[in-house]
Amino acid sequence: MLAKEIERAGIPAVYVTSLPTVATMIGANRIVRGPAITHPFGLEEDDRKRIVERALAMLETDVEPNTVWEVE
């Protein structure tokens, strides 16, 4: 819901979560799948770099509603 209201204010937001199904149900638009509930942004620093970079790339990309990106 936070993501949706921030988007409603016109600010692009990326929601990083290990539960993208819930995120799409609620209506968030830019969603990146994180590895786990306990560490959505990644356990180690290099995981975090990949996940954050994926999230930033999504912020720079035009998307269809409720889009989920995986992290390689």
Partner 1 sequence: MKTVHYLNQFFAGMGGEEQAETPPTRLEGAVGPGKGLAAVLEGVEIAATLACGDDYFAEHEDDALAALLEMLAEIGPDVLVAGPAFGSGRYGYACARFAAAAAERGVPAVAAMHEDNPGVGEAGAAYVVPTAVNVAGMRDALPRLGALASALASGREIGSAEDEGYLVRGFRRNYVAEKTGAERAVEFLLAKLGGEARTEVGGDMDRVEPPPPVVDLSSALVALVTEAGCVPQGNPDHLQSVRAQGWFRYDLGGADTLASGRYESVHGGFDVSLANEDPNRLVPLDTVRGLERDGRVGRVHESLYTTTGNGTPVVVATRFGQEIAGELRDAGVQAVLLSGT
Under the criterion CB under 8 A, does residue 64 sit at the interface with partner 1?
A: yes
The torsion defined by the Cα of 58, 12, 26 and 15, in degrees rounded to 10, comes to 50
Task: Give the one residue of 33, 37, 69, 70 binding partner 1; rule: CB under 8 A.
Answer: 37
**How many residues interact with partner 1 (rule CB under 8 A)?**
48
Residue 34 contacts residue 42 (beta carbons within 8 Å): yes
Least distance from C-beta 7 to partner 1, angstroms? 5
Under the criterion CB under 8 A, does residue 12 sit at the interface with partner 1?
A: yes
Distance CA 17, CA 55 (A): 11
Under the criterion CB under 8 A, does residue 21 sit at the interface with partner 1?
A: no
